[in-house]
A and B are shown apart, each in its own frame.
Chain A
Amino acid sequence: MPLLTVRHLCVSIGHLQPLDGITLEVDKGQILGVVGESGSGKSLTAMAIMGLLPLIGGAISAGSICFDGTELVGLDERAYRAMRGQRLALITQNPMTSLDPMRTVGAQIDQVALLHLGLSAAQARARTLELLGQLRIPDAATVYQQYPHQMSGGMKQRIVIAMALAGDPDLIVADEPTTALDVTIQAQIIQILVDLVHQRGLALILITHDMGVVAQACDKVVVLYGGRVAESNTVQNIFAKPGHPYTRALIGCIAQTGQVRGSLKGIPGVVPSVADFASGCRYHPRCDHAQARCQSEVPLLQANNAGQVACLFPEGERRG
């Protein structure tokens, strides 16, 4: 049984339902990529797993989140708090919002171990310094005493990763952890995350809009569109034989080496907001293969090429 299994998860905020039947799985030692454009429901999925929906007035209206045998849906806040930090950790996009500007970063990382592992102050400090070393931070003892404003964006993101690791969690959810960073720093951070997963046997959910990052780092991929799963498969299958036209279009948004100028098309139209999702298949207004049935019939997630796809006319079965 996988470490985390999310089944038919639906989330509502007021009368809106931004997530509609999300299903995904991730196991130890695996990186699951969750991809889609902004507004596809990636971050909400992360918040739902972390039990943070009440912060934005959201609630899980249906479905299940099963983590290592425990059902997280309906778990009370006290029990969830014990999970967060120690078993589940979140890395957010903007490291500045995750760090307290008034305290040294060392103290902030220590706090996680003090709270969750019951270590003494000296033990926590030693552990923090060891973690900083593992994250290839040079001169860890100096960095330990610094404040967030004294650091570059890449260094701050490493501190946030160290905080996520400090409680020795089993699952890390990283929500666009490198979007705000320069490419060389992005490459370093992605490599650090990949190494951590393999060395520690962590499970990682990597949320991103960048198919390049997915191809580089992930083992499995779930593609979201309009709060629903469009396709899920192994990373090899997703790129070699995308079943959903949206998956193919997303891959086609990134220039490959040697790609001829003028051949990059993008996806026509705009990302729908939750208030005006299309009927039937939510992607049909932007889909170049859409047919009349797509406007009225909601495609169900079904087996396709060793994975699953939610398309009435998946690639491979399509004619003409």
Chain B
Amino acid sequence: MAERLNTTPTKLLEVRGLTRTFTSRNGLFGKKRVMTAVADVNLDVPRGQVTGVVGESGCGKSTLARLVLRLLEADQGQVLFEGVDLASLSASAMRRLRQRLQFVFQDPYSSIDPRYTIRAALLEPSLVQGEKLSTQAATERINSLMAMVGLNPSLAQSYPHQLSGGQKQRIGIARALALQPAFLVLDEPTASLDVSIQAQIIALLEKLRQELGLTYLFISHDLGLVRYFCDRIVVMYLGRIVEVLPSADTPPRHPYTIALMESTFEPDPTKRRIITRLSGEIPDAFNPPPGCAYAARCPHASDRCRSERPALVQQDGHELACHHPPT
């Protein structure tokens, strides 16, 4: 049964208390170890906007992306799409709803079956949905999808290995658009591409968002790109949200977000930074520290930070989890 909750219409998607753990074993008879990849994440995705999730490897952003589309099942918490709890849907109802929720993967090299032609790859979503298309209708569909992502329709007869990385990522986007979705999760869609091609793909995503009225959840490790492309920015560290910036130009207050910002190099030699404050690496997720996960790297950390985890507190739309935000 789909549960309908009271939500304001501006939120397309809501994430409530989402948690997911993974277990691992040291060898066959070793001790079981548990790591929490995503811990108690709450997130609103407003309709028509780009919500960015930023953080470094291991921060749980890709796990979150998969949980949001139920490609992974959550241990706890809910994902509400237009007020409907996705976990409450049967497999067939979820499959039908997937028309509206689509995913663009990081690696276009491995997300397209090498034995499929581009045409077959783009028709697969309608096949899965049980849609019957005449050959002519299929060709029209392919041509319009290819045009939408700026590719020559003649490429539809090619195989993935005949395309460049940028062309493959355009196919990945075209396939996500094949069923006319409302919401796309973009998991580092440009991370494996050259900068010149990365900028092309971002421009394409922006054009599609405006033309089709799409809503994006944009996952990235690149704060510079996120600040350029996103309306709101969610910063994750070791599985938790540490800061939510209500707009791209909100000055960050969490020391980790500030460090991320200082690590982003501007293409301008007059704005060189001196990197002195950054040290250390992300802690072991199997053995997280008791307090603030960032304390070991933080220049402002106190004893309180090392023992007590700061709660995420909202003020004027700006959410922050820090005991001593620098003023």
Contact = CB atoms under 8 A, between A and B. Distances in A.
A188 B278 contact: yes
A319 interface: no
A315 to B, nearest CB: 16
Contacts of B249: 258
Interface string B208-243: 000000000000011111011100000000000000
Contacts of A253: 195-196, 198-199
A265 B266 CA distance: 17
A210 interface: yes
Given A37-B194, A182-B57, A255 B228 contact: yes
Interface in A120-164: 136, 138, 152-155
Nearest to A188: B278
Contacts of B206: 261-262
Contact of A262 (B167, B203, B268): B203
B286 interface: no
Given A37-B195, A182-B221, A267-B200, A188 B279 contact: yes
A155 B281 contact: yes
Contacts of B278: 184, 187-188
Contacts of A183: 56, 221-223, 260, 263-264
A300 interface: no
B9 interface: no
Nearest to B272: A216
A28 to B, nearest CB: 21
Interface in B184-207: 194-203, 206
Given A184-B259, A185-B281, A255-B228, A270 B272 contact: no
A210 B265 contact: yes
Given A188-B278, A216-B265, A270 B166 contact: yes
B195 A216 contact: no
B171 to A, nearest CB: 14
B33 interface: no
Interface string B253-287: 00000011011111111111111101111000000
B102 to A, nearest CB: 22
B196 A267 contact: yes
Contact of A266 (B57, B164, B197, B275): B197
B299 to A, nearest CB: 13
A262 B200 CA distance: 10
B260 A184 contact: yes
Contact of B267 (A191, A256, A262): A256
Nearest to B190: A266
Contact of B268 (A37, A38, A215): A215
A257 B263 contact: no
A188 B281 CA distance: 10
A267 B281 contact: no
A249 B196 contact: yes
Contacts of B228: 255, 259, 261, 264
B224 to A, nearest CB: 5
A261 B195 CA distance: 17
A17 interface: no
A249 B194 CA distance: 13
A186 B263 CA distance: 8
A187 B275 contact: yes
Nearest to A155: B281
A255 B227 contact: yes
Given A37-B194, A187-B278, A261-B229, A266 B202 contact: yes
Contacts of A266: 196-203
Nearest to B264: A183
Interface in A45-96: none
Interface in A190-220: 190-191, 209-216, 218
Given A255-B225, A257-B266, A258-B249, A152 B199 contact: no
A236 interface: yes
Contacts of B229: 255, 261
Nearest to B273: A216
A319 to B, nearest CB: 26
A136 B280 CA distance: 9
A249 B235 CA distance: 30
9 contacts: A136-B279, A182-B57, A187-B262, A187-B275, A212-B266, A254-B199, A254-B267, A266-B196, A266-B199
Interface of A: 37-38, 136, 138, 152-155, 182-188, 190-191, 209-216, 218, 235-236, 239, 249-259, 261-262, 264-268, 270-271
Interface of B: 56-57, 164, 166-167, 194-203, 206, 221-225, 227-229, 249, 259-260, 262-276, 278-281
Given A182-B57, A212-B264, 16 more contacts: A153-B57, A154-B281, A184-B260, A191-B275, A209-B195, A212-B266, A215-B267, A215-B271, A215-B272, A239-B270, A253-B198, A254-B224, A255-B224, A265-B200, A266-B199, A270-B197
Q: Which 7 A-B pairs have the closest CB atoms?
A: A266-B199, A266-B200, A255-B228, A212-B265, A187-B263, A267-B196, A182-B56
